[in-house]
Structure 1
Amino acid sequence: MEHLGREEVAATHILRNALGVIGIGGWALASTSNTLVSNLLGQNRKQDVLLAVKRILMVSAVFGLGCSLFLYTAKDVLMPYFSTDDIVVDRTMQGLRVIYGSSVLLCMATVLFNALIGLGATRISMIFEVSCVLLYVLYLTLVVQVFHLNFWWAWTSEYAYWGLLFVLSSIYILRKKWMKYTPASAPVS
């Protein structure tokens, strides 16, 4: 963001704060997913894992959507606390439009990813995380350094990161290969 300008950097700090607050609730639900999935596996109740993840996923989606709606409706009231610079406010509003949806995706992707960790799939979790980080860095490099796109385009990188994490985690969980392992025979994967 430093390459885009002073106002963009200031707006990025504001947007990071907003996303961080949303992330606190999202990561709390994700931690719940991890613990619950691990607990269900420990009780040898594998058949209940998908239902538990689905329920936490629904709560997470509602939480993310609620936060997005709050940001959308309260942005004019909240913005003066962060900046009175018209350009910074304008850039922040551009970024907010992007993170409304990505915050919902953040909440849902972290729940699925932490369910994956709760399944004991540590190696695959690491591969997924590294893949998402590489996509994120590549995406930002292309958007900011190569194509010199607008500020809000840089914030669409959140969709790339959380979207890939959501898809990869969903595929792994829905394939149900993890169901063939008992807690004692589960591979360190």
Structure 2
Amino acid sequence: MNIKTSYGHILKISLPIMIGSAAQNIIVLSDNIFLYHYDTVDFAAIGLIGAFYLIIIAIGYGFSRGGQILIARKYGERDHSAIGSYFQSLVAYELILALLLFLFIQYLSEPFFRSLINDPEILKLCLDYIQLRSYGLFFSFTGVSIIALYNAVTHTRFIVIDTAILTISNIVLNYVLIFGHWGFNPMGISGAAIASTLSEVIAFIAFIIYMFFDKVNRSFDLLSFKKLELKLFKNSFNISFPMVAQSFLGLGAYFVFFTWIENNSSADLKVSNLIRNVYLILSIPTWGFSTGINTLVSIFIGRQKRQAVLPITHKTNWLNLASTMLISVPVLVLPNIFLYPLYGGAEDDIISQSQGLLLLLIPILFMFGIGSIYLNGIIGTGHTRKALILQAIATGIYLVFEFFVLKVYNLNLYWAWSGEFIYWGAILLFSFVYLKSKKWHVKSF
């Protein structure tokens, strides 16, 4: 494929990735909406355990993005024979990770959460969800490996179809299992866990069937099993581990943030869960363009066109901001129109309680959009350790701020959510300065 730096080409590559990257966000949103209309305690619990589960998913996703960068580099170099080897090593990595995390959840999650959560009812619901949800890790982690492959070689069309399959199956199964339709008993948050896991299995099977008949991947020799080389594992680990650590830092800080809110007030937890849901869905363009810039930067470097990296990063940033603001501003300014069909109708009007915080999301999304694109520009160059250091500094600053806001001075949610400005502002500053310095021109792998 002829890769260009035009706005149209960036959008052509990033749009399917954007939709595909929404998969876990869609599952989280679907679980939250159905549980909001089922029971307020279940809704509060899914906000907390959902943040934790995203950390688990981010570990697998981080390794897959590392694999995506390596595969994209080989695709840029037109070394098709290496693509199959890197893909197989990525799948092996992901399955080992899935097994380790599955064992942790099954045997250690109860003492872990018991030390963090005060409310015994929320604790029980969180454990019910996470232990059932853990069975989907094997399908989810293998699935992100397949998506990484197709993202890396810019053949992203079926990702959109597979995401649609995931979404439809998750909505139907949530409706049936949470509320108890078609002969099933109402299962609440446990039903959400089963529905989400089954929908991931269905989407995984659909992608495997597609891969079997897809002619594009045959030149990559994916199904000819090779001896897994230590060098491939080492390369994958060196690129991927900092990205896993990045995800753990970012989402781990988010989990700490929600835990501190739960310790202060279950009512604040419920409001913050709504804000998080809206934040997640409106951040989909940024996640898509961020993953797209990983691929584009790596391909251009593979084709010895480092001079194209900054222009394509700038263009991706403008496309992302335009897309994000076009979607976000109407939703956040007029929540009673756009959010009421999803979160209206309950006795306590959570939308009215959240309106001020929803408006605060507009500048937060603006700052997040810019910071994420430039950070992922660094990641696409392969300098993932440098990106990890930058994010670690920003996370440390953020957690210190939130500690004083929530634990020392016990300030309101406006102050708590304002920490996003500090976090993404720091990331934007560090990332932009590093990209302009050209230190990333040094070969990383």
TM-score w.r.t. length of structure 1: 0.88
> Which residue in the other structure is 1:28 paired with?
288
Following superposition, the deviation at residue 45 of structure 1 comes to: 0.7
Q: How many residues align?
A: 182
Shift of 1:24: 2.0
* Corresponding position of 1:120: 382
Structure 2 regions of 5+ residues with no counterpart?
1-260
Gap change, CA 1:13 and 1:126, over 3 Å in 2: same
**CA 1:104 to 1:116, structure 2 compared with 1: closer, same or farther past 3 Å?**
same
AA in 2 matched with 1:10: K
Instruction: Kindly indicate whether the alpha-carbon contact (under 8 Å) linking 2:332 and 2:361 is maintained by their aligned counterparts in 1.
Output: no
| Cα distance in structure 1, aligned partners of 2:341 and 2:283 | 22
Task: Give yes or no for contact 1:102–1:158 (8 Å, CA) kept in 2.
Answer: yes
8 Å Cα contact 1:26/1:111 also seen in 2: yes
Mapped partners of 2:327, 2:272: distance in 1:
18
One-letter code of the match for 2:313?
A: V
* Residue 147 (structure 1) shift: 1.9
SS at match of 1:136: helix
Contact 2:335 2:351 in 1 (8 A): no
Matched residue, 2:314: 54
Q: Distance between the aligned counterparts of 1:6 and 1:89, measured in 2?
A: 16
CA distance in 2, matches of 1:169, 1:38: 17
Q: Contact conserved, 2:313 with 2:377, CA < 8 A, in 1? A: yes
Mapping of residues 1-150 of structure 1, within 5 Å: 1-77=261-337, 78-79=339-340, 81-83=342-344, 84=346, 85-86=348-349, 88-150=350-412
SS across alignment from 1:148:
coil
Q: Is the 8 A contact 1:4 1:151 kept in 2?
A: no
Describe the superposition over 1:97-146 as per-residue Cα deviations: whole angstroms up to 9, x where unpaired: 21111112112211111110011111111111212221221111111111
Secondary structure of the 1:126 match is: helix
- My pick for the range that moved more, 71-80 or 137-146, is 71-80
Measured in 2, the distance between the counterparts of 1:143 and 1:71 equals 28
Distance across 2 between alignment mates of 1:66 and 1:4: 35
Q: Distance in 1 between matches of 2:435 and 2:403?
A: 31
Q: Which has the higher contact order (CA 8 A, sep 6+)?
A: 1
Q: Distance in 1 between matches of 2:375 and 2:307?
A: 19
- Contact 1:11–1:92 at 8 Å: present in 2 too? yes
Q: CA RMSD in A?
A: 1.7
CA distance in 1, matches of 2:376, 2:282: 17
Deviation at 1:178, TM superposition (A): 2.2
User: What's the offset of the Cα at 1:80?
Assistant: 5.8
TM-score, normalised by the number of residues in structure 2: 0.39
CA–CA separation in structure 2 for the residues paired with 1:43 and 1:187? 15
Distance change in 2, residues 1:80/1:143 (3 Å): farther
